[in-house]
Each structure stands twice: as C-alpha cells, then as structure tokens.
Amino acid sequence: MDDSRPADGPRRIKSVQTASEILAAIQRRPDPTFSDVCDELDASKGTVHTYLATLEEEGFVAKVDGRYRLGLRLVTMGETVRNETPLYRAGQLEVDKLADTTNEYVHLTVVSRGKEVTIYESRGDNAVATDYHLRMREAPQYLHCTATGKAMLGHFDDDRVRDIIDDQGLVEQTDNTISDTDRLFDELERIRERGYAVNDEEELRGMRSIGAPIRGVDGDVCGAVSVTAPTSRLSGDRFRSEIPELVMQAANIIEVNLETTTFDPSR
C-alpha cells in the first residue's frame, strides 16, 4: 500500500514509448480513423492528435483521406536494416535459386527478441498460401512451430531455449504444434543429429517445411533457410531426403558466402 516510489529502474523516454504504441495501434488496425487510434490508447484526444501530427511530419505515419497508415519511411528504413544484415547479402541469391529449383516458398530468417523475422523470401512458381505468407512477414513469428525456428533453437544452448520458452510460451497454432517442453527438447535433439528441422503442419494446417540453420563466422547460428510447400507436394522421398538435402546445401553455401563477404575489405 506504500509502494508509491517511482519504482526506478533504468530511465526511458515515455513519449517515445507512446509513439511506439501509436504505431503499433495503426499497424494492428487497418486504416484506422483518428478516433480509432484514440480508442486503442488511453490518452486524451488532444495528446493523440499531437503525436499523430509529429509522426506524420516525420514520415512514420501517413494520412490518406482521413485515415491513418504507417508511412513509407518505414519501408526505406526497413530496407536499410535488410541491406545491413550480412545474412541477407550472403543469402539472397541462394534463396532465389532454391525457390527456382523447388518451385516453392523459400524463407531466410533471423532471430530477434525470442521470435523470428523473415529477412528475405522468394516465391517459386508453384508457391501457395501467398496471402498467409504476406501477412506473416508483418510480425515476428514463434520459433517453436516453424522449420527455420526449430532449426535455430536446435543450435542454441539449452538455457537460451528455456528462456525463450518461458518468455513466449509454446502456443498451439495447429493440432500438430509441439506444446510440451520435453517433447520440444527431444525434437531439438533429433534436429541437431539430422542437421535439419521439419515442420509437419505445426504452423499451418496442410503445409510442411524443411529448414536448416546457418552458422556465422563465429560458429553461432545467425539464421536459417527453409522450403515450405503443401503436404501433398512434400511427402515421401521429396520430404525425407530430396528437399532436406537441397536446403542443407543452400544453408552451407550461404555460410561460405558469409565468411567471404564478412572479410570483404570494401566494408
């Protein structure tokens, strides 16, 4: 009844947190109006108004006939992030090739704050669930139910995996999702042995993926690559050896690229 102290801890800029919340609110809601944004925040109209005006001026938000959107500055900044991620430069071409030979979706992902973000995606000619994959890239995804995610988890040390599970939980996205910690650790063990991870309709019903980890120069995992296809097209030999082989090859080539580009003197 007495903990009215400022509960210190490290200092933060509250206005920046508020701005971030507003951006999140706009992202959550499609094309919100001014009062839609107000509804999602607990701040007065006047305050929200000033924030939106500032964010618009800075290019983080755009107003299109009375409705708010995230601004194009986020596109250019996002582009910078990708270009400065060594994995992107090292992997882009190889991902395109893999999409070309498999004709399916290929993803290149990295871990950030306990989730994974797709840094590059290539769509083979037969790729399905385009809309799902479009939307999926708009937010970081769980690691425990994707091929790339599990491939990476398999090469983290147990403490780190445990921390991630504690933070994120093992949300059941489908009936096949591994939602039990022990089972997940068993699975990670198998992934380590085989060298690749399988996602058997654990993220999305009807879709399977094969993923392999990518190690950086220091030996630590810095990302993963995967092929995703409808279960009907990803079964039998193709599921058990052909695609896994191709994915691991691609991962290997990207690793080599990484080593050589990292030492690129022009950077």
Binding residues for a second copy, per CB under 8 A?
Answer: 10-17, 19-20, 23, 27, 30-31, 50-51, 53-55, 57-60, 62, 69-72, 74-84, 110, 112-113, 117, 119, 134-135, 137-140
Q: Does 12 bind DNA (CB under 7 A)?
A: yes
The type of residue at 174 is T
Q: What is the rounded distance in angstroms from the CA atom of residue 77 to the CA atom of residue 174? A: 34
Q: Using CB under 7 A, pick the residue from 18, 92, 176, 249 that binds DNA.
A: 18
Residue 35 binds: one of a second copy, DNA, none (C-beta under 5 to 8 A by kind)? DNA
- The pair of three-digit structure tokens given for residue 16, joined into one six-digit string: 């920046």
The sign of the dihedral angle between the CA atoms of 14, 57, 84, 81 is positive
For 85-107, give the secondary structure using H, E and C: CHHHHHHHHHHHHHHHHHCCEEE
Minimum CB separation of residue 54 from a second copy in Å reads 4
Binds 81, which of DNA, a second copy, none (CB < 5 to 8 A, cut-off by type)? a second copy
Tokens of 20: 């971030």
In whole angstroms, how close is the CB of 140 to a second copy at the nearest point?
Answer: 6
Among DNA, a second copy, none, the one that 110 touches (CB under a kind-dependent 5 to 8 A) is a second copy
The count of chain residues that interact with DNA, using the rule CB under 7 A, is 25
Q: What is the DSSP string of 195-243?
A: SSEEEESSSSTTEEEEEEEEE-TTSSEEEEEEEEEEGGGS-HHIIIIIH
Q: How many Å apart are CA 134 and CA 146, to the nearest integer?
A: 16
Q: Which of a second copy, DNA, none is residue 44 near (CB under 5 to 8 Å by kind)?
A: DNA
Residue 238, binding choice from a second copy, DNA, none, Cβ under 5 to 8 Å by partner class: none
Residue 34 interaction partner, one of DNA, a second copy, none, beta carbon < 5-8 Å per kind: DNA
**For the stretch 38-62, what's the b/e string if a residue is b when 16 or more beta carbons lie within 10 angstroms of its beta carbon?**
bebbebeeeebeebbeebeeeebbb
Segment contacting DNA (CB under 7 A): 49-57, 106-114, 153-161, 221-229?
Answer: 49-57
Q: Which of 209, 257, 244 is nearest to 91 (CA)?
A: 257
Asked whether position 44 contacts DNA by CB under 7 A, the answer is: yes
Which residue ranges make up the site for DNA (CB under 7 A)? 8, 10-16, 18, 33-36, 42-47, 49-53, 66
